[in-house]
Amino acid sequence: MESEGRLFSAFLRSARLHVVSSTGLARVATSAAPRALPSGGERDLARVLLGLRQDVTRQADLGKTGEDLACGELERRGYAILARRYRRRGGELDIIARDGPTLVFIEVKARDGRAFGEAAEAVTRLKQHRIAQLAVDYMTRHHLSGCACRFDVVSIHFDSGRAEIEVFQNAFDA
């Protein structure tokens, strides 16, 4: 218990957070320019205290569920899934598949609702550029230079307990 108190104190100092007590109740207030969060166990404690751990886990679960549903839908449509979560320094390709003779690089966007717009709208020009760079990397590493390819986006919205899946073929050009 004493070590947790020290970690909490270290977190408060390093993140420039201050405990303010005005009516006998303790609350946490931030200063204008916080420094970097602490590392290791202190960072984990900080995330738990600020409620960030649950949000990160929930987003990861939503993304994984979205990718699983997307793979199922793509296979139902006749795609052959070649790879999932192809990671390189520049980012990640969610799904790589074949649709007949065409190599398809697929970005999956899953949203818990529509409050922040359509899921497919989250694939910005910058994201498209990164996907294209990763596609070139994949094709180079797998000696697929003469292969036809395209970029699809799978949009998944979880509305009222059910998933609505849309597949946008040839969603953007590279």
CATH number of the domain that 162 lies in? Answer: 3.40.1350.10
Residue 168 placed within a domain: yes
Q: Domain check: are 81 and 112 in the same one?
A: yes
Residue 99 placed within a domain: yes
The percentage of the chain sitting over the pLDDT mark of 90, rounded to a whole number, equals 43
Q: Domain check: are 77 and 142 in the same one?
A: yes
Range of 157's domain?
A: 63-172
> pTM here?
0.65
| Farthest-apart Cα atoms in the chain, separation | 71
Q: Domain check: are 74 and 141 in the same one?
A: yes
Please give the pLDDT value at position 73: 94
Residue 9 placed within a domain: yes
CA dihedral for 113, 114, 116, 119, sign (positive or negative):
positive
For 23-42, the DSSP string reads: SS-EEEEE-SS--PPPPTHH
Residue-wise pLDDT for 111-142, tens only, equals 887 666 777 788 889 999 999 999 999 999 99
Q: Domain check: are 80 and 163 in the same one?
A: yes
Residue 55 placed within a domain: no
Residue 56 placed within a domain: no
Residue 114 placed within a domain: yes
| pLDDT at position 1 over 80 | no
Count of domains forming the chain: 2
Average pLDDT score, the chain: 75
Q: Domain check: are 67 and 46 in the same one?
A: no
Q: Domain check: are 38 and 99 in the same one?
A: no
Contact (CB, 8 A) for 83 and 42:
no
Please give the pLDDT value at position 11: 42
pLDDT range class, residue 86, cuts 50, 70, 90: very high
